[in-house]
């Protein structure tokens, strides 16, 4: 089957997840054209440089700016308005390449990406959604997790609701499994890269810290006041300052430090959180301000006893968290790790149905971690 696959380029979690799905599609004999923006383009192009049956095309996508540990709405808006004219021209050119080179996709798969979705709507193609964001809109969340209703929650739900409306089916990857409230919705465990599936948990004494903003100049001084070993990724360079080691980017080194960590301290991004839960590593989440999806992930982390979350990172917060890592580790034993088998089965069933011209199924026959019940 000929598949057009759209990947949102903001953050690398979508790209690493999509790499796994793309490998499954290629192994099943499908031909794929990928449209992707941002840093994810270079990553996927390099990942599949030696593969036949797949082409990776760069498109323009939205970019988000951050100030400290919060979303900078004004700066993000200004940046996207400035880049819009050139971005529109790039996307028109990409549309023409896909439309005119004879590829003629039969189905579109979208990881929260709008360009491929709009292409599908214009060509009356079915869309299969694969992402973690749709859990906000297509599942029921209890107040014990969400807390009081908030404007951030309402805005996030509306934004997700209008992102990929009317898809053929929604495959939602998650480490928490609330009640599904809408048909054509299936919950799956986190999509895990092979390096994580091959990793074996061996708890050590260090704490892994993942920090995506080099502008957080208070981080290292804060960690130095604590009597623990910290290995920090994401701040660039390689150096050791007393009990804090700044680690250069290394996929192998990061996975090894993750599987042997006493605990993890990071933001609220879903990919690392799903990996930590899979490996049963306690995690302290500090979500980016203004990102409700990250806040929801962090709230479920606390609700399930897999870790904790905080609005800001300081020495007292870290100490309270580390004092409870044994309890978090005990709770994580309840989590049932999975591989990507459910994903392969559900996606395969959907593609078979599309190939037969069947209508969208309200629920799938393949096993899952949650589905709609009439």
Q: Which two tokens stand for residue 70?
A: 């919060």
Residue that is last in its domain, among 301, 317, 332: 332
Domains: count for the chain: 2
- Do 163 and 234 share a domain, yes or no? no
Q: Name the residue among 263, 277, 280 with its Cα closest to residue 201.
A: 280
User: What Å distances lie between residue 257 and 89, 204, 207, 233, 269, CA to CA?
Assistant: 43, 9, 9, 10, 18
pLDDT bin (cut points 50, 70, 90) of residue 75 is very low
What confidence category does residue 66 fall into, taking pLDDT thresholds of 50, 70 and 90? very low
* Residue 138 domain boundaries: 2-193+339-371
CATH of the domain at 84: 3.40.50
Higher pLDDT, 205 or 151: 205
Give the least confident one: 36-45, 134-143, 250-259, 262-271: 36-45
174 with 269, same domain: the answer is no
Is residue 180 domain-shared with residue 294, that is, in the same domain?
no
- Distance from the first to the final alpha carbon of the chain: 31
d(CA 295, CA 297) in angstroms, rounded, equals 5
The percentage of residues in the chain with a pLDDT greater than 70, rounded to a whole number, is 87
Whole-number pLDDT of residue 99? 56
Cβ contact 198:256 at 8 Å: no
Better-predicted residue by pLDDT, 74 or 370? 370
- Shared domain check, 162 and 72: yes
pTM over 0.85: yes
pLDDT band at residue 73 using 50, 70 and 90 as cut-offs: very low
Burial bucket for residue 75 (CB in 10 Å: 0-12, 13-18, 19+): middle
> Looking at residue 64, what is its pLDDT?
42
**Count of other CB atoms within 10 angstroms of residue 369:** 18
Residues 203 and 189 in one domain: no
Residues 22, 169, single domain; the answer is yes
> Out of 52-56, 148-152, 182-186, which region has the weakest mean confidence (pLDDT)?
148-152
**Residues in a beta bridge with 264:** 208, 283
- How buried is 291 (Cβ within 10 angstroms: 0-12 exposed, 13-18 middle, 19+ buried)? buried
Q: Is a pLDDT exceeding 50 seen at residue 77?
A: no
pLDDT of the residue at 91: 53
Tokens of 146: 């969400």
78-134 pLDDT, tens digit per residue, is: 443 444 444 445 555 555 566 557 788 999 999 999 889 989 998 999 999 999 999
pLDDT > 50? residue 154: yes
| Confidence grade of residue 336 (pLDDT, cut at 50, 70, 90) | very high
How does pLDDT run across 268-295, given as a tens digit for each residue? 999 999 999 999 999 999 998 778 999 9
**Is it the case that residue 31 has pLDDT exceeding 50?**
yes
> Do 188 and 219 fall within a single domain?
no
Q: How confident is the model at residue 213 (pLDDT cuts 50, 70, 90)?
A: low
CATH code of the domain containing 266: 3.40.50.2000
Q: What is the mean pLDDT of residues 341-368?
A: 97
- 309 and 366 together in one domain: no
CA dist 276 and 362 (Å) reads 32
Residues 276, 346 share a domain? no
Better-scored residue on pLDDT, 37 or 121: 121
321-332 residue pLDDT tens: 999 999 999 999
Question: Are residue 182 and residue 205 in the same domain, yes or no?
Answer: no
- Rounded to 5°, the CA angle 135-139-145 comes to 85
Residue 261 vs residues 29, 264, 313, 318: alpha-carbon distances, Å: 38, 7, 19, 15
If you average pLDDT over residues 292-308, what whole number do you get? Answer: 96
Same domain membership, residue 263 and residue 286: yes
What average pLDDT does the chain have? 88
Structure confidence at residue 90 (pLDDT): 56
Note whether 200 and 288 are same-domain residues: yes
């Amino acid at each position: 089957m000929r598949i057009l696959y759209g990947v949102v380029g903001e953050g690398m979690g979508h790209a690493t997840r999509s790499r796994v799905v793309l490998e499954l599609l290629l192994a099943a004999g499908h031909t794929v054209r990928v449209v992707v923006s941002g840093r994810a383009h270079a990553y996927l192009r390099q990942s599949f440089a030696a593969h036949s049956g797949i082409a990776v095309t760069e498109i323009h996508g939205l970019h988000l700016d951050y100030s400290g540990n919060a979303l900078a709405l004004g700066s993000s808006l200004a940046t996207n308005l400035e880049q819009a004219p050139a971005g529109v021209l790039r996307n028109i050119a990409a549309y023409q390449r896909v439309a005119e080179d004879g590829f003629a996709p039969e189905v579109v798969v979208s990881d929260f990406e709008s360009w491929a979705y709009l292409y599908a709507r214009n060509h009356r193609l079915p869309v299969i959604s694969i992402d973690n964001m749709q859990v906000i809109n297509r599942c029921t969340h209890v107040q014990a997790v969400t807390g009081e209703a908030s404007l951030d929650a309402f805005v996030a739900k509306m934004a997700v609701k209008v992102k990929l409306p009317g898809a053929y089916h929604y495959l939602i990857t998650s480490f928490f499994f609330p009640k599904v409230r809408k048909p054509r919705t299936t919950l799956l465990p986190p999509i895990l890269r092979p390096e994580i599936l091959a990793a074996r948990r061996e708890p050590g004494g260090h704490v892994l810290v993942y920090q995506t903003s080099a502008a957080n100049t208070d981080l290292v001084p804060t960690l130095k006041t604590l009597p623990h070993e910290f290995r920090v990724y994401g701040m660039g360079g390689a150096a050791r300052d007393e009990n804090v080691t700044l680690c250069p980017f290394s996929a192998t080194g990061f996975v090894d430090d993750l599987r042997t960590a006493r605990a993890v301290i990071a933001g609220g991004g879903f990919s690392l959180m799903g990996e930590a839960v899979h490996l049963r590593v306690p995690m302290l989440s500090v979500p980016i301000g203004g990102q409700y999806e990250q806040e929801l992930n962090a709230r479920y982390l606390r609700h399930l006893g897999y870790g904790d979350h905080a609005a800001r990172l300081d020495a007292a917060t870290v100490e309270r968290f580390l004092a409870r890592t044994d309890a978090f580790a005990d709770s994580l034993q309840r989590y049932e790790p999975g591989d990507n088998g459910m994903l392969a089965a559900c996606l395969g069933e959907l593609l078979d149905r599309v190939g037969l011209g069947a209508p969208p199924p309200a629920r799938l026959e393949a096993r899952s971690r949650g589905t709609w019940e009439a």
